[in-house]
Amino acid sequence: MKQIHPIFLLLGLSWILSCSSEDGLVEVAEKALTESVYASGKVMAAHQYTLMPEVPGILQRLHVGPGDRIKVGDTIATLKAENAQLAQEQARQQWLFARDKAAHGSSALLEAEAALNFARQAYVNDSDLYQRQRKLWEQGAGSELQLLQRQTSMENAKAAWLSAKARYKSLKDQLNLEAELARSRWEQQQETKGQFILRSTIDGMVWQVYPKTGSYLGPQSPIADLGSADSFYVELDVDEYDIARVSIGQEAILRMDAFPDQVFKGRVQHIHPILNARSRTFRVEVSFDQAPEPMYAQLSVEASLIVQSLEKALVLPRAALLDKDRVILENGDTIKVETGLKNYQFIQITKGLSKGQAVKVPGQ
């Protein structure tokens, strides 16, 4: 369900009250207007994941604590496997699986490569269309708006291609690292005679640990949350009603309770293309232009994703509209108006009224 930020409500109410008279009139005013999508979420550490055992066992030792810095390959926990032979065989099977997954021609890499090729071809196509439109413009044909639209499409396609290229490289590096770590775990299983060693797959920090020494852990029992110590992003839940107005590269205004007097800027980096059926939201990832320091994972965030902005617009409170496109003049007449940009409190009047003209707010 869509939510309205309380700051917006307060500002909107103050403006309405300042412009309204005792007889329920409000004047058309000129002001900056921004249309945005509201979303809420939390701060996530880059590469954050929960370390879990792959076989059951007893936790013999935790080698780290919350806040400890870690490197790739550092030992996080040591377990005594219930069945050493089973643990060794499972480690071997996982290495073979990881090795095959990282091999050239694997389904994971082929899928990412297909996405990369698709994004590259889309950029080539949009670039060709832009060049054609530019030539038409130089010859006096076509409109400037068409040229700008082609240019925007080309730039968005280029950004998507570069993003796909980076994701492909990151996936390939990740799969190679996972294969190497899986091989290392199998070799260690053969050497430790029943001890099962869990190691970090990233450089970063231990954010949280769960069990105590001596605890029995089944497969997929959480041991520790690991993630980057210096790189963070915001994970937002965007209502399905608004997701069509969200795009890669879109500017985001971010607010956090931990920094009540500051506003931060960011950009939409990734949109997960599947609806959460329970919350009816989409997951959207936003990068910080400049993150505050110190930063902590799981901080709550409220965001405004900027759809469009106007420096000057004739506006009315949305409460002043009757049936979405009509207003009641001061003399009681009802007229139709044309509207444009809008946010939760205000709406742009593009035709039908002039600055300073008073209208009645229905119900007042």
C-alpha 154/C-alpha 150 separation (Å) is 6
State the pLDDT at residue 263: 94
Task: Please indicate, yes or no, whether residues 320 and 222 belong to a single structural domain of this protein.
Answer: no
Q: Are strands 281-288 and 259-271 parallel, antiparallel or unpaired?
A: antiparallel
> Along the 364 residues of the chain, how does pLDDT read in single tens digits?
444 444 443 344 444 444 444 568 888 888 888 888 999 999 999 999 999 987 788 898 999 999 999 999 999 999 887 666 666 777 788 888 888 888 888 888 888 889 899 999 999 999 999 898 888 888 888 788 888 898 899 999 999 999 988 888 888 888 888 888 888 877 776 655 555 788 999 999 999 999 999 898 888 899 999 999 989 999 999 999 999 999 999 999 999 999 998 999 999 999 999 999 999 999 999 999 998 888 899 999 999 999 888 888 888 888 888 888 888 898 888 889 888 888 778 888 888 888 888 888 887 7
C-alpha 223/C-alpha 198 separation (Å) is 10
State the burial class of residue 344 (Cβ atoms within 10 Å of its Cβ: 0-12, 13-18, 19+). Answer: middle
Q: Is 72 within the bounds of a domain? A: yes
Q: Where are the alpha helices (DSSP H) in the chain?
A: 6-19, 84-102, 107-138, 144-192
Range of the domain at 125: 51-227
State the burial class of residue 58 (Cβ atoms within 10 Å of its Cβ: 0-12, 13-18, 19+). Answer: middle
Of 209, 227, 245, the one marking the end of a domain is: 227
Of 202, 227, 252, the one marking the end of a domain is: 227
C-alpha 184/C-alpha 277 separation (Å) is 39
CATH code, domain carrying 305: 2.40.30.170
In three-state secondary structure terms, 126 is: helix
Task: Please indicate, yes or no, whether residues 122 and 168 belong to a single structural domain of this protein.
Answer: yes
